[in-house]
Chains A and B, each alone.
Chain A
Amino acid sequence: MRVPLEWLREYVDIDIAPDVLAERLAGAGLPAEEVIQAGEDVVLDLEVTSNRPDCMCLLGIAREVGLLLSHPVRLPDGYAERPRTGRHTGRTRRTVAGRTSRRGASAPVAAPRDAGDRVRIEVEDPAGCPRFTAAVIEDVRIGPSPAWMRRRLEAAGVRAINTVVDVTNYVMLETGQPMHAFDCDRLGTRRLLVRRAHPGETLETLDGVTRTLDPDMLVITDGTRPVSLAGIIGGRDTEIGDRTATVLLEAAYWHAPTIGRTARRLGLRTEAAARFERGADPNAPPAAQSRAAWLLAEMSAGRALAGMVDVYPAPVQPATVRLRPARACAVLGTEIAPAEMVRILRALGCRVTPGRTLSVQVPTFRPDLVAEVDLIEELARVYGYDRVPATLPRGDTTPGTMAPVLAADRAVRDTLAGCGLVEALTLTLVRSAPQLADGEPRAAIANPLTQDHDALRRSLVPGVLEVLATNAARRIGDAHIFELGRIFVPGGDGHRPWERRSLAIALMGRWRRGWNVPAEHASVDLHHLRWILDVLCEELALSADDVCPLSAAPADLAGTSPLGPARWWHPGRSAELRIGGHPVARYGEVHPDLVAASKLPHRAYVAEIDLEALYGLAAGRPGGARVSDEIPPVPAPRPIITARAFTALPRYPEIERDLAAVVPDAVAAGRVETIIREAAGPWLEAAELFDVYAGPPIPAGHRSLAYRVRLRAPDRTLAADDAEEILTRVRIALRTRAGAELRE
C-alpha cells in the first residue's frame, strides 16, 4: 500500500519526520517495505497484513497515525459515514426490497429525478452480495482529471485515466471502498442483476481477456449478459469511454471468500479484489458514493441523481466482544491498567462499556476483531510489544530430547564427514522426465512452477551425480560427497507418497592430495567406498560382511525397492550389501553410460543406502520398520543407535601367522575370508588381507590372496601348537571348500 505523505496530511497532522513515522508505524504492525523520496513528497510503501482491510486506504492509515500521535482524524468533504434512507427501488429476489437514500446536506446538487427511476437493482444471491448500492451520474464530462488528483493517484501507484475512472480509484484509495463505473447507456436494460455465473458463461473483462466463469463466481448482469465480475473487475462492453454521458456508479459489499476464490481461480489480483477478499466495511458504500458524487461535482465532471439505490436486506450490526482485562494481562504477561485498555479501544473506534468485563462494540471497518484474543492483540499492539517484558516459562518443565531418528541422522552425518565426505543437500523437487533412463514413476506435482521441478525425487542418486557433474563443469574433479534425506515413493492414484530416509555417497577423483602421491594410491575406487560402508555399519553396530555382486542379486520387484535399479552401476563392479538377509545398500562404479551422460571426467562411484532399513536393523526392528515421522505418544523413546558395550582389552599376547591361498579367479575374496573365519573358530581375532597377486609363478586364471591371521585366547597365552592346529584346520578348509593351494 503506497501512501503519499502529502495526501495523508489531508486527514491527519504529521509532526514527525518521515523515517520516524515509518518506525512508529512498523512498531504498530505496518512496516514500510520502502520509503520512497518522490520529488518533494515522500511515499511510504507499507506492508499491510491480510487481516487489516481497514489499512488498505489513506483514511485507515490516517486513523493509525492519529492513534500513534494522538492527533484527530479529519474526514474528507462529502464523506458521510452513515447511510441514509430513501424509498425503495431495488430488491433482492425472494427477500425484502432494498431502499434508496436521498442525499443529505453534503449532496451538491438537488436532482430533478431519482436514481431509482433510472435503474433497477436485483440481488439474487444476498449471501454473496449482502449490500449493493448504485448511483446515477448525469451530465458526465469525460476528460483528464485535475492535476492534483492525477498526481496523487500516480504517487499511489494507480494510472490516471479519465475523470470518472479516476474518481472511483481515488475514492477507493481514500476510503477503502472499491467502486465501479458502468456506462449507463451501454447497459442493455436499465436493470442490474447480481447472481452466480452460469456454467461456461464468458465475460470479456476490462483488460481485454475473455474469461470463462463458473457457478461459484458472482457476476453483475444487465439482465441478459454479465457486465462485470463482481468485486474484481468490470466488463469491456460497459466500459467508460470518451462519449459516456451517463454513469452508473456501483459500490457494494461482497462475500470475501467468494471474491478470494474467484480472484485466485482466474489469476486476477486487482486492487478491488485485494480489498474485498480481506473483508471490506459493509457500511462504507453510501459514504463512498456520496464522496464520489461530491468529487465529480467539484470537478464539474458529473451530477449525481438523488436517491441512491441501496439493496441491503440484512444490515450488518457492529459486533460486541467481551474482554476480561485480567485475561488480557495473563495472556500477555504484563500489567495494563483497565483504564488504559478502555482508552486504547476507544481510540481504535470501539464503543466500550466499562465493568469487570469490558463490553466492546467493534466498528464494522474492523472485521478482524471478532474474539477476545483479537482485542488482546490490539491492546498489545498499541501498548507496544516492546513494553512487554521478556520472561522465561514458569511451571512444570519438560525434558529436552531429540527424536531417535534425528540423533541417528546426526551420528551418520558425523561419521561420514569423519570419512572425508562433504555433505551436500539437493532439491527434492526434480524433473519427472527421467534423466537416468530408468522410467521409474515419480510422485508428480500437480501444479509445478517449472518443468525442472515437476516431481519429487525417487532416489538420491541422480542428485549426487548432478553435484559431481556441477563440480566437474567448474573444473573440480575431486569430489567426495554424501546426502542424507528423504525419497518419495509414489503411492499410486491419489494416495500419499511413501517418504523414506535414504543416503547416497558419491566419489570421484583423488582422495589423497599432494605432491608425488602415485595415482593408484590417490584415486578413489570401489574399495574406498566399501571402507566407508564398513565404517558406517560399525557406527550402527551392524556387520557389513554379506556382500554379493549386484549382477548376482535378485531382480527388484518392479518399483517396490527403495534402492535404484541395477543398471545404474557397472555390472562387473557393483555389489549389494545385505544385513540379516535384507538388502540395505547398492554400491559400486557408476555405469560408463551414466558417467558419459553426466559428463563426468573420471570414473565415479556411488552407493545408495536404504537408511530406513538400516535404522530398523540397528534398532532391532528389521524389515524396514518405519522409523521416520513418528511422533510417539511420550517423549524420548528407545534410541536407534544404542551405546556400545566395552570389550575388555586383551590380557594375553596374540600369535600372528601369514597365510597365502592360491585360488581360482572365480572364488571371491569374501568367500575365502568366510572360510577362514568359520574354520578358525573363536580364537581368530582378525584375518587381514594384505596382498592380492596374480602373475608368475601363480598359474593363469588364479590369484594369490595373502592374509595376516591374528589369533588370541581371552584366558591364556596361546602356544605355538595351538596356533598350528588352528591353521591346519584353516588350510584344510581352504583346500577342500575353495580348491585353494596354500603357499608358505
Chain B
Amino acid sequence: MAGQLSVEDLQRIAEVGQEAERACAGASSEAALEEVRIRYLGRQGVIAQAFRALAGAPAEDRPRLGQLLNALKADVERAVRRRAESLAAETGLTRLAEERIDVTLPGRGPLPGRRHVLSRTMQEMAEIFIGLGFEVVEGPEVEADHDNFERLNMPPYHPARDAQDSFYLGGGWVLRTHTTVVDVHVMERRTPPMRAISYGHCYRRDPVDASHSPMFQQLDGFMVGEGVRFSDLKGVLLHFARAFFGPDTRTRFAPSYFPFTEPSAEMAIGCVICGGRGCAVCKRSGWVEILGCGMFHPRVLELSGIDPERYTAFAWGMGVERLAMLRHRIDDIRLFYEGDLRFLRQV
C-alpha cells in the first residue's frame, strides 16, 4: 500500500528537515529565527504548502505522506524551539552581563537605632528575676527622708548615712539614695509572701569621677516569707550572677554592714576582667564586689508592720553601672550619661 511513494518524495522530506535544522542553527538572532520559522512553519511556509500538495498525491500514499509531513513539522518546531531557547539564554546572559555593578561598593541606608546599654541591662536583670518569681515595681525618686532612712533603720546622724550623703529638696524631701526604699513601699501595701525588685535613678552627693556619678542606677530586690533563709539569698544571687555573667561565674560572700540588714553581706564575683588572676579592676584580689545584701533587720520588718518572728526576709541592692562596666569593660561611669553616639552605638 505504500509502494507508490517515490524515493524523491522521501528524500525531499528528509532534505527539508535538514535544511530547516541548519537554518535554525544559522539564525543568529530572534528576528532571524522568526524568519526561519515563518519560512517553514508559517501559513504559507514550506510545510503548509506540502500539506496542501497532499491532496494531489495518490490516495493510497496520503496517510503515509501525512504521517511523514507531521513528523517533519514536529521536528522543525522542536528545532525552532530549541534554537529560540538557546538564543534567549544567550541574549539573557548578555543583558545580565551588561547590568553588572560593582558589588564591592559600600552599603547604603540608615544607621540602626539602639537602646542604651543601661536600659537594656536593667531589662535583662529584671527578666532574670522575673524568672525567679519576682515582681518588678517602681517607686518615686523623691522620697521622704523618713522613708529613705528611718524606716530602713538609719536614724539621723547615723554613721552609715555617711556612705549615702544625700541631696535634699527642702521640706524633708530627699532624692532617694537607694532603691531599697521601694521595698518599704511594697511591704506597706502588701502582705507576705512577696518577692519584688525595682530599679531606677538613685542619687548620692559624691564628687564626679571615673567611678562616681551623683546620679546612678540601682536595682534592688527583696523576698519576705515564712522560712526565708540566708542560704536562699545566696542561692538566688548565685543564680543571678551565673545568668548575667555566665555559667562559670564564681561568687564569694563576705560579711558587711548595712543598718537595714542583719546578717549583712557583700557578694563578689571572680574578676571578669582578669579571670581571677589579679588586675587593676579587682585591685589584684581576683574578686570584684558587685552587690550588698542580707537578711532584712527585724526592725525594718516591724516598721512595715510585718511580724519578724513569723516572717524572715532577704534583700539586696546593686549598682547597674558597675555591672554594665564589668560586663562591657567600660572604664568610666561618665560615658553612660554624656550621650556620645560613638559610645552609645558601640555597647
Contacts and interface: CB of A to CB of B under 8 A. Distances in A.
B157 A264 contact: yes
Given A393-B235, A466-B339, A496 B257 contact: no
A448 B165 CA distance: 11
A277 B336 CA distance: 37
B141 A400 contact: no
B108 A515 contact: yes
Contacts of A401: 130, 135-136
Query: Which bucket holds chain B's interface residue count?
Result: 35 or more
A679 interface: no
A514 interface: yes
Interface in B151-193: 155-160, 162-163, 167-173, 175, 182, 185-186, 189-190, 193
B229 interface: yes
B215 A428 contact: yes
Given A29-B254, A260-B158, A631-B186, A413 B231 contact: no
Contacts of A416: 113
A496 B173 contact: yes
A278 B157 CA distance: 10
B8 interface: no
B107 A514 contact: yes
A422 B297 contact: no
Nearest to A396: B193
Interface in A415-473: 416-429, 443-449, 453, 456, 466-467, 470-471
B214 A453 contact: yes
Interface stretch (B27-35, B60-68, B261-269): B261-269
A334 B231 CA distance: 7
Contact of B116 (A423, A444, A480, A486): A423
Interface string A278-321: 10000000000000000000000000000000000000000000
Given A402-B126, A446-B168, A29 B256 contact: yes
B167 A424 contact: no
B346 to A, nearest CB: 11
Interface residues of A, number: 107
B336 A474 contact: no
A185 B114 CA distance: 74
Contacts of A422: 113-114, 116, 341, 344-345
A178 B21 CA distance: 119
Contacts of B263: 332, 373, 376-377, 380-381, 385
A539 to B, nearest CB: 14
A616 to B, nearest CB: 16
B337 A426 contact: yes
A402 B130 contact: yes
B102 to A, nearest CB: 11
Interface stretch (B37-45, B80-88, B89-97, B201-209): B201-209
Q: Which of B193, B195, B234 is the most central at the interface, judged by chain A CB atoms within 10 Å of its CB?
A: B234
A45 to B, nearest CB: 11
B3 interface: no
Contacts of B194: 398
A445 B344 contact: no
Nearest to B344: A422
Contacts of A426: 337, 339
A628 interface: yes
B72 interface: no
B135 A399 contact: yes
B235 A496 contact: no
Nearest to B185: A631
A499 B169 contact: no
A515 B108 CA distance: 7
A50 B162 CA distance: 9
B113 A628 contact: no
B195 to A, nearest CB: 5
A29 B225 contact: no
Given A381-B255, A386-B252, A395-B193, A496 B171 contact: yes
Nearest to B132: A400
A479 B340 CA distance: 10
A7 B244 CA distance: 44
B142 A499 contact: yes
A736 interface: no
Interface string B246-282: 0000001111110100111100000000000000000
B337 A445 contact: no
Contacts of A332: 229-231, 263
Closest 4 CB pairs of A and B: A333-B231, A29-B255, A333-B229, A514-B108
Interface of B: 105-116, 118-119, 123, 126, 129-142, 155-160, 162-163, 167-173, 175, 182, 185-186, 189-190, 193-195, 201, 203, 205-207, 213-215, 223, 225-232, 234-236, 238-239, 252-257, 259, 262-265, 283, 295, 297-298, 312, 336-342, 344-345
Given A264-B157, A331-B295, 9 more contacts: A261-B156, A333-B232, A376-B263, A391-B232, A403-B136, A425-B336, A427-B337, A486-B201, A515-B105
